[in-house]
């Protein structure tokens, strides 16, 4: 964990993630001020998700041709250039008639994220030893969750003081710093030879990540678990939580901030626990996934049926704790099973799968919540998490190994 390159990667990705949140906050504010339309505002996250999904599908083509460090640095550099264009455009040319350009730039920024995120995740096992892999994942995941949860609140405050242009300039500064830091990541990688690059067709390259997941029972189990979690995920977005707080809990919208803060504490505490107890978790990683799977199911159903505001804070905090521990464990197993470029391809597939599932589920949950009740939405999410738990229970024989004791090189098998 004293590896300098890992620290640089952690800092660079954290700055980039903070910038990603801030520029979306700035654009939502800017689009609403220009159009005064919730439809135009809702297109911002929709385009964001579309760019991520399509980028994840095409990422393997770049992964085959270039080093992971090269993909990570160049994608962040080009994102920085696009953000500079976006900042200038919003400042000088944005009107309701020209707003389409905003969506095009958003699409390309998220599209590039789909190249950098799998590359960053795949570099972690190359920068730290296997016994420290869970520690590294806990740090990366905790920083990501902290920024995702705290960034929206901080972004709202900064938008009020700096306004849209100031917040975009701050984001541009964060992107520049991130790009500079990522340039100092040092990792030994073999550059793909031309023979390797043309050995397989582009179609084979595109579907290699899918083939790896489909061909290994352990990876199938873990990714189906992630899909079930993505189905349940939309219950924690604002479009579901806002009416739940109003209708079910009967309190003001300020409780949305309290609930998010409690979730943040749960996620952050989980990162500390995973870091400090990494040896114990490595030895009992399957049991932790099982316990975590049951607890996130239990906390979700109890939260959905609960009517007491104070109790809701405890339940969401416990959910965040066990969800984060479960996810850190799952990603550590995946990184122990797959290495290097194949791991980047697996993460690209994972990104596309979870984004598509989350997007479709968000739409369906909204329809069900409008047609029936908000409690029904939480019950459906709980059923999905229950399926996830029982699927892990019935498939546990495929995951019975200790991290560090049985690393499998799938590249040789495939």
Q: With 60 as the cut, is the pLDDT of residue 402 above it? A: no
The percentage of residues in the chain with a pLDDT greater than 90, rounded to a whole number, is 27
Residue 84: the pLDDT is 93
| Per-residue confidence band for 366, with pLDDT thresholds at 50, 70 and 90 | confident
**The two structure tokens encoding residue 323:** 């969800």
Measure Cα distances from 124 to 139, 339, 402 in Å.
11, 10, 19
Residue 363 lies in a domain: yes
Residue 191: the pLDDT is 61
The percentage of residues in the chain with a pLDDT greater than 70, rounded to a whole number, is 91
Residue 412: the pLDDT is 39
CA torsion 363-367-370-375 (nearest 10°) is: -80
Same-domain pairing of 326 and 384: yes
* Look-up of token digits 């066990």: 322
Residue 352 lies in a domain: yes
Same-domain pairing of 82 and 176: yes
- Angle at alpha carbon of residue 240, lines to 234 and 242, rounded to 5°: 140
Q: With 60 as the cut, is the pLDDT of residue 411 above it? A: no
Residue 192 lies in a domain: no
Residue 321: the pLDDT is 92
3-state secondary structure the chain: CCCHHHHHHHHHHHHHHHHHHHHHHHHHHHHHHHHCCHHHHHHHHHHHHHHHHHHHHHHHHHHHHCCHHHHHHHHHHHHHHHHHHHHHHHHHCCCHHHCHHHHHHHHHHHHHHHHHHHHHHHHHHHHCCHHHHHHHHHHHHHHHHHHHHHHHHHHHHHHHHHHHHHHHHHHHHHHHHHHHHHCCCCCCCCCCCHHHHHHCCHHHHHCHHHHHHHHCHHHHHHHHHHHHHHHHHHHHCHHHHHHHHHHHHCCCCHHHHHHHHHHHHHHHHHHHHHHHCHHHHHHCHHHHHHHHHHHHHHHHHHHHHCCCHHHHHHHHHHHHHHHHHHHHHHHHHHHHHCCHHHHHHHHHHHHHHHHHHHHHHHHHHHHHHHHCCHHHHHHHHHHHHHHHHHHHHHCHHHHCCCCCCCCCCHHHHC
Phi first, then psi, for residue 404 (nearest 5°) are 95, -15
Residue 305: the pLDDT is 94
- Angle at alpha carbon of residue 40, lines to 80 and 365, rounded to 5°: 100
Q: What is the mean pLDDT of the chain?
A: 84
| Per-residue confidence band for 2, with pLDDT thresholds at 50, 70 and 90 | low
CA torsion 260-266-271-272 (nearest 10°) is: 130
Residue 239: the pLDDT is 67
**The two structure tokens encoding residue 95:** 């009107």
Summarised one tens digit per residue, pLDDT across range 142-160 is 788 778 766 766 777 787 7
Same-domain pairing of 120 and 267: no
Residue 13: the pLDDT is 92
Q: With 60 as the cut, is the pLDDT of residue 406 above it? A: no
Residue 170: the pLDDT is 92
The span from the CA of 322 to the CA of 294, in Å, is 9
Distance of CA 246 to the CA centre of its chain: 28
Residue 19 lies in a domain: yes
Measure Cα distances from 290 to 306, 399, 400 in Å.
24, 11, 12
Same-domain pairing of 226 and 328: yes
What's the rounded mean pLDDT across residues 26-30? 82
**The two structure tokens encoding residue 86:** 């976006």
Characterize 289-308 residue by residue with b for buried, 16 or more Cβ atoms within 10 angstroms of its Cβ, and e for exposed.
bbebbbbbbbbbbbbbebee
Residue 52: the pLDDT is 86
3-state secondary structure 36-70: CCHHHHHHHHHHHHHHHHHHHHHHHHHHHHCCHHH
Residue 74 lies in a domain: yes
Same-domain pairing of 211 and 351: yes
Residue 264 lies in a domain: yes
**318 contacts 112 by C-beta, under 8 angstroms:** no
Residue 153: the pLDDT is 65
Same-domain pairing of 154 and 109: yes
Residue 200: the pLDDT is 55
Residue 397 lies in a domain: yes
Task: State which residues form the domain around 158.
Answer: 1-136+147-184
Same-domain pairing of 258 and 174: no
Residue 195: the pLDDT is 44
138: closest CA among 274, 11, 4, 13? 274
Same-domain pairing of 6 and 128: yes
**148 contacts 263 by C-beta, under 8 angstroms:** no
Same-domain pairing of 82 and 211: no
Residue 96, number of CB atoms within 10 A of its CB: 11
Residue 143: the pLDDT is 82
Instruction: Give me the number of domains the chain comprises.
Output: 2
Residue 302: the pLDDT is 96
Summarised one tens digit per residue, pLDDT across range 98-120 is 788 888 988 999 899 888 888 88
Summarised one tens digit per residue, pLDDT across range 303-351 is 999 999 999 999 999 999 999 899 888 988 888 888 777 888 898 898 8
Same-domain pairing of 156 and 224: no
Residue 197 lies in a domain: no
Of the ranges 60-69, 249-258, 299-308, which one carries the lowest mean pLDDT score? 249-258
**The two structure tokens encoding residue 171:** 């984001």
Of the ranges 1-10, 185-194, 356-365, which one carries the lowest mean pLDDT score? 185-194
Same-domain pairing of 176 and 257: no
| Per-residue confidence band for 407, with pLDDT thresholds at 50, 70 and 90 | very low
Same-domain pairing of 214 and 177: no
Total count of residues recorded for the chain: 414
| Residue 339 belongs to domain with CATH number | 1.20.1250.20
Summarised one tens digit per residue, pLDDT across range 186-236 is 887 666 554 454 555 677 778 888 899 988 888 999 999 999 999 998 888
Q: With 60 as the cut, is the pLDDT of residue 59 above it? A: yes
């Amino acid at each position: 964990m004293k590896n300098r390159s890992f620290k640089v990667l952690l800092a660079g990705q954290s700055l980039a993630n903070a910038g990603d949140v801030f520029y979306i906050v700035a654009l939502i504010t800017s689009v609403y001020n220009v159009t005064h339309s919730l439809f135009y505002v809702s297109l911002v996250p929709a385009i964001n998700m579309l760019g991520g999904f399509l980028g994840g599908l095409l990422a393997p083509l770049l992964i085959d041709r270039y080093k992971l460090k090269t993909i990570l640095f160049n994608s962040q550099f080009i994102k920085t250039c696009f953000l500079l264009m976006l900042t200038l455009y919003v400042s000088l040319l944005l009107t309701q008639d020209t707003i389409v350009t905003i969506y095009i730039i958003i699409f390309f920024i998220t599209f590039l994220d789909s190249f950098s995120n799998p590359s960053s995740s795949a570099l972690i096992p190359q920068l730290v030893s296997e016994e420290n892999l869970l520690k590294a994942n806990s740090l990366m995941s905790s920083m990501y969750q902290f920024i995702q949860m705290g960034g929206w609140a901080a972004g709202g405050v900064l938008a009020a003081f700096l306004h849209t242009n100031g917040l975009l300039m701050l984001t541009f500064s964060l992107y520049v710093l991130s790009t500079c830091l990522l340039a100092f990541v040092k990792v030994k990688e073999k550059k793909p030879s031309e023979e390797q690059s043309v050995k397989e067709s582009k179609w084979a390259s595109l579907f290699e990540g899918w083939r790896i997941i489909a061909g290994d029972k352990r990876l199938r189990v873990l990714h189906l678990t992630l899909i079930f979690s993505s189905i349940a995920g939309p219950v924690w977005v604002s479009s579901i939580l806002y009416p739940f707080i109003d209708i079910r809990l009967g309190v003001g919208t300020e409780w949305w901030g309290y609930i998010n803060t409690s979730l943040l504490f749960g996620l952050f505490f989980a990162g500390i626990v995973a870091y400090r107890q990494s040896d114990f978790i490595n030895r009992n990683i399957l049991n932790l996934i099982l316990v975590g799977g049951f607890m996130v199911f239990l906390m979700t159903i109890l939260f959905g049926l609960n009517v007491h505001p104070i109790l809701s804070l405890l339940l969401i905090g416990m959910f965040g704790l066990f969800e984060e521990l479960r996810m850190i464990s799952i990603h550590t197993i995946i990184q122990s099973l797959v290495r290097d470029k194949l791991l980047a391809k697996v993460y690209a597939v994972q990104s596309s799968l979870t984004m598509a599932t989350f997007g479709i589920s968000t739409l369906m949950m909204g329809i069900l919540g409008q047609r029936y009740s908000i409690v029904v939405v939480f019950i459906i999410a709980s059923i999905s998490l229950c399926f996830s738990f029982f699927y892990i229970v019935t498939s546990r024989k495929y995951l019975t190994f200790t991290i560090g004791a049985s690393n499998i090189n799938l590249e040789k098998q495939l």
